[in-house]
Amino acid sequence: MMLATDLQKRFGIPDQVSIVDLAPDYPVININNAHASAQVALHGGHVMSFQPHGHEPVLWLSGSAVFAEGKAIRGGIPVCWPWFADHPSDASLPAHGLVRSQFWELQAVDQLDDGATQITLSIQDTPESRTLWAHAFKLELVVTIADSLRCRLRMTNKDKVNCDYTGALHTYLQVGDISQLKVSGLDGVDYLDKLADDKRIQQQGDITVDAELDRIYTHTDAEVVVNDTALNRKICVQKQGSQTTVIWNPWLDKSAAMTDFEVGGYQHMLCVEAANAVDDIVRLAPGETHVLETRLSVKK
Just list the catalytic residues.
Answer: 170, 273
Of the two residues 1 and 258, which places its CB atom closer to ligand TA6 in the complex? 258
Using CB under 6 A, which residues numbered 217 to 256 contact ligand TA6?
A: 246, 248
Give yes or no for residue 194 binding ligand TA6 (CB under 6 A).
yes
The whole-angstrom separation of Cα 163 and Cα 157 is: 7
Strands across the sheet with 17-23, in order? Answer: 17-23, 26-32, 36-41, 46-52
Q: How many residues does the chain have?
A: 300
CB of 126 to ligand TA6, least distance (A): 22
CA–CA distance, 30 with 19 (Å, rounded to integer): 6
Where in 82-141 is the site for ligand TA6 (CB under 6 A)? Answer: 85, 95-96
C-beta of 17 vs 209, nearer to ligand TA6: 209
Dihedral-angle region of residue 96 (phi above 0 means left; psi in -120 to 50 means alpha; beta otherwise):
left
Does 71 engage in binding with ligand TA6 (CB under 6 A)? Answer: no
Q: Is the CB of 13 or the CB of 68 nearer to ligand TA6?
A: 68
Shortest Å, Cβ 93 to ligand TA6: 12
Q: Is residue 170 close enough to count as binding ligand TA6 by CB under 6 A?
A: yes
Q: Rounded to whole angstroms, how far apart are CA atoms 174 and 149?
A: 14
Least separation in angstroms between residue 12's CB and ligand TA6 is 31
Give CA–CA dist 106/9, Å, rounded.
13
# of chain residues touching ligand TA6 (CB under 6 A):
11
What distance in Å separates the CA atoms of residue 102 and residue 209, rounded to the nearest whole number?
33
Kindly state the helix (H) or strand (E) to which residue 49 belongs, with its residue range.
strand 46-52
The minimum distance between CB 280 and ligand TA6, in angstroms, equals 14
**What is the rounded CA–CA span in Å between residue 277 and residue 165?**
9
| Residue with smaller CB distance to ligand TA6, 11 or 217 | 217
Choose which of 273, 278, 284, 298 interacts with ligand TA6 (CB under 6 A). 273
Residue 185 vs 250, nearer CB to ligand TA6 = 250
- Residue 201 to residues 214, 216, 243: CA-CA distances in angstroms? 12, 10, 17
Which residues lie near ligand TA6 (CB under 6 A)? 72, 85, 95-96, 170, 194, 214, 246, 248, 271, 273
